[in-house]
Amino acid sequence: MASTQGLNMLQTAGVAFTLHPYDYDPKAEAVGLQAAAALGIDPGLMLKTLMVEVDGKPCCCVIPSDRQLSMKKVAAAFKGKAAEMMAVPKAEKLTGYKVGGISPFGQKRPVPTAFEVSACQAPRVWINAGQRGLLLGIVPADALGATGATASALIA
Residue 60 contacts residue 104 (beta carbons within 8 Å): yes
Q: How far apart are the C-alpha atoms of 7 and 12, rounded to whole Å?
A: 9
Mean pLDDT score of the chain, rounded to an integer?
Answer: 94
> Is residue 1 pLDDT above 60, yes or no?
no
Residue 70 contacts residue 118 (beta carbons within 8 Å): no
15-54 tens-digit pLDDT: 999 999 999 888 888 888 899 999 999 999 999 999 999 9
16-152 maps to CATH 3.90.960.10: yes
* pLDDT (mean) for 49-75: 97
> Is residue 2 pLDDT above 80, yes or no?
no
> Is residue 135 pLDDT above 90, yes or no?
yes
Q: How far apart are the C-alpha atoms of 4 and 20, rounded to whole Å?
A: 14
Q: Which of 30-44, 45-59, 72-86, 105-119 has the weakest average pLDDT?
A: 30-44
Residues 6+ apart with CB under 8 A from 93: none
> Is residue 116 pLDDT above 80, yes or no?
yes
Q: What is the 3-state secondary structure (H, E, C) of 13-62?
A: HCCCCEEEECCCCCCCCCHHHHHHHHHCCCCCCEEEEEEEEECCEEEEEE
Domain residue extents for the chain? 16-152
